[in-house]
Amino acid sequence: MSALRLRNIGKTYGGRRALVDVNAELASGQVTAIVGPNGAGKSTLLGILSTLVMPTTGELRWDAEVLARGSMARAAIGYVGHEPGMYGDLSATQNLILFAELYGFDRPAARATAMLARVGLGEVPADAAVRTFSRGMQQRLALARALLHQPSLLLFDEPGSALDPAGAAWLTRELATERAAGRIVVLVTHDLDAAGSITDHLLVLRRGRVAFDETRASGFDATAVRAIYEERTRA
């Protein structure tokens, strides 16, 4: 099994320590939920996993490779952040064709069409600019872009924040599909109920440190996510 291994990861901004000695292992075929109160270091950790942020101390290793800025492993990472990160004046199809070309697909238009259908945007008018989309539609498009190249590592920062209940249920099914395909799936979330329904591995951060790190396989009860969160993050 493929795995991301974090060893003594620390991140300092000026004199503020955002992360302190974070150790964890994120395995393929699992959904890892990173939870914690505001300021716990969740988004910073996700940035480090994406190689967009470099740790001040420690090492991030993906199997045999130590990840650093500019690493070739970036081509195997799919990332959905707070902002959709799409070109607003282009249509959904144009956006995905552009990214498919960057990833070297022989038939970028066909790939774009297939991905739009997968995320429920197949019936959107072909010439509609993305800036006219609802926030939920933009979130679906961002997911299509993240899945476009079949990445081995999927990173999500509050992926369900703009989705209605039907959209959230759809997202849970998508995450389950990617888990079954053997991806490493990591999501930062405040939706503890959703985390409990899909999570195989729970990582709780508090003040930049790991307060709880457990998997279902080793006895973690997914239905107890809220109790664990409240206990481990209590001031």
Nearest to 185 by CA among 151, 209, 214, 160: 151
For 185-197, what is the mean pLDDT? 78
Q: Residues near 226 by Cβ (< 8 Å), separated by ≥ 6?
A: 192, 193, 196
The pTM of the full predicted model, rounded to 2 decimals, is 0.88
User: Residue for token digits 């707070």?
Assistant: 82
The pLDDT mean for the chain works out to 87
Among 31-40, 61-70, 211-220, name the most confident range. Answer: 31-40
The domains of the chain, with CATH numbers, are 3-86+152-233 (3.40.50.300)
Give the separation between CA 74 and CA 13, rounded to whole angstroms.
24
* Region label for 145, one of left (φ > 0), alpha (ψ between -120 and 50) or beta (otherwise): alpha
pLDDT level of residue 69 (50, 70, 90 thresholds): low
CB distance 73 to 51 below 8 Å:
yes
Query: Strand 30-35 relative to strand 201-206: parallel, antiparallel, unpaired?
Result: parallel
Helix axes 108-118, 92-102, angle to 10 degrees: 130
Answer yes or no: is pLDDT of 168 > 60.
yes
Ranges of H-type helices in 106-203? 108-118, 135-147, 165-180, 192-198
- Give the pLDDT confidence score for residue 162 in this predicted structure: 72
CB distance 119 to 138 below 8 Å:
no
Answer yes or no: is pLDDT of 234 > 80.
no
Nearest to 26 by CA among 200, 198, 167: 200
Give the separation between CA 221 and CA 199, rounded to whole angstroms.
10
Give percent above pLDDT 90 in the chain.
54
Could you tell me which residue, 74 or 200, shows the higher pLDDT? 200
Could you tell me which residue, 219 or 147, shows the higher pLDDT? 147
- Give the pLDDT confidence score for residue 224 in this predicted structure: 62
Answer yes or no: is pLDDT of 36 > 90.
no
For 57-82, what is the mean pLDDT? 81
